[in-house]
Structure 1
C-alpha cells in the first residue's frame, strides 16, 4: 500500500485532500512572538489579515507534528510513502521530511520534487494520488509524474512589490524603480524549480489583460484544466474568472486560495492562474 504525503505549500483545499486521501505536513509560519502551523493553527486569510502590521516568515515543518503524521501512516498499514514536495530549490522542507522519514525504517519512502510551489505543486500531488489509487507500481507512478510535471504551469500577478522586497525576493533598489513605474510583475517557475519574472506589465488593467493572454496562449496549444487563484482578493479573482470562463479549450475551472508559503512573498490582493495542459 502506498500513501501520498505532501507539505502544506501545495495549497489543496481540505475537500480535495480528503477526497484523494492525501496526508500533509504543515510548514511553520513564524512571527516575532509566536509560531504557527500552516493550515492547522493559522489560516491563509489570518496571515493576510496580519500582514499590514507584520509579515511572517515560513520555515521547516514542526518535527513533532511531522513524526505524528508518519506514525499515523505507519499505523494504517502503509508499506510505501510517496512524498510529493515543494521545489527543493525554494525550501528546505523536502530535506526536513527526508530526515523525519529516517525514524520510520519500516516504510519505504519515495521523494518527488514538483519543482514548483502552491497550487501547481498541488496539481502534481493530486495527480500522484490518482495514479496511486489505480494500483500502479511506485516506479510507474514516479515516471508518469515526471511527464505530468511538464504540463503544469502557474502564473502569479503581484499587486504590490512591497512583500517581495520585505521577503528578500527583490532588492529595495529594484523594488523602488518598479513601484515608480507601477509594475505588476507576473511571476512563474522554470524547469529548475526557481521563480522568475515572466512579464512586467504596468498598471492593473494591462496586467490582467496580459494574464488572460498567457492563458489564451496555453489554450492554443491544447485544452487545459484551469485554476484561478486569489490571496485576500476573491472579488478580483471572481471577476477574472468571469472574463475567461467561456474561452474555448477549458475543460474544468476552479477557484483556489493562495496559501501562506507563496502569499508571504506576494502579499494580499494577488491573483493568479494555473494551467494543466492535456496530453
Structure 2
C-alpha cells in the first residue's frame, strides 16, 4: 500500500489492489507455545499443556481468515525447517515476490530468519513486521508468521 501511494495512486486504487490480492495471501507460521490458544478455548487444555511440555511446536496455515494446524515439530529448529518447507512448496517466481515475516515479540528470531532468507533466496524484498494484537492473542509471544506477496 505504501509503495502504491508513493507511486501517486489514489486511495480507492490502493484499496482495490489490496482487496484483489488479499484472498490469495496465505500465512504459514509456527507457534512457540499454545498458551493463548488454550486460554481462548481453541484447544483442549490438557492436550495443549501436554504439547507444550513435550516441546512440540504447531505449524499453522492462515487462509481466508481461517487458522488451521497443518503440522507439528519437536523443538524450534525442527519447526523452522518444516515452516520453510511449507513456504517453499507454495511459492514460485521468488524474484518478483515480497516475503513478509511477522513476529510476536521476538524480533531477534525474525531478523535471523530474514538473514537466512536473504542468503538463500532472491526475493524482491524482505519485510519484518510485528504481529498485531488480534493475531497476537491467538499466537502468543515467540510466534513467527511468513507470507509472500
Query: TM tier, shorter chain?
Result: 0.7 to 0.9
- In the alignment, what sits opposite 2:77? 205
Seen in structure 2, the aligned counterparts of structure 1 residues 238 and 135 have a Cα distance that, compared at 3 Å, is closer
- In the alignment, what sits opposite 1:265? 138
Q: Greater RCO between the two (CA within 8 Å, min separation 6)?
A: 2
SS of the aligned residue for 2:102 comes to strand
TM-fit CA distance, 1:249: 4.3
- In the alignment, what sits opposite 2:10? 133
Measure the CA separation in 1 of the matches of 2:9 and 2:61: 28
- In the alignment, what sits opposite 2:40? 167
TM-score, normalized by length of structure 1?
0.46
RMSD over aligned Cα atoms: 2.8
Is the contact between residue 27 and residue 63 of structure 2 (CA under 8 Å) also seen in structure 1?
no
Measure the CA separation in 1 of the matches of 2:12 and 2:48: 49
Measure the CA separation in 2 of the matches of 1:181 and 1:208: 17
TM-score, normalized by length of structure 2?
0.80
Seen in structure 2, the aligned counterparts of structure 1 residues 156 and 133 have a Cα distance that, compared at 3 Å, is same
Is the contact between residue 212 and residue 244 of structure 1 (CA under 8 Å) also seen in structure 2?
no
Name which of 84, 95, 102 aligns with 1:229: 102
Q: How many residues align?
A: 145
Moved over 4 A (4+): 144-147
SS of the aligned residue for 1:206 comes to helix
SS of the aligned residue for 1:197 comes to strand
Measure the CA separation in 1 of the matches of 2:69 and 2:106: 21
The answer to whether the aligner puts 1:148 opposite 2:25 as a matched pair is no
Larger Rg: 1
Is the contact between residue 188 and residue 198 of structure 1 (CA under 8 Å) also seen in structure 2?
yes
- In the alignment, what sits opposite 2:119? 246
Is the contact between residue 222 and residue 249 of structure 1 (CA under 8 Å) also seen in structure 2?
no
- Could you list the runs of 5+ residues in structure 2 that have no partner in the other structure? none
- Could you list the runs of 5+ residues in structure 1 that have no partner in the other structure? 1-15, 21-125
Structure with the larger helix share: 2
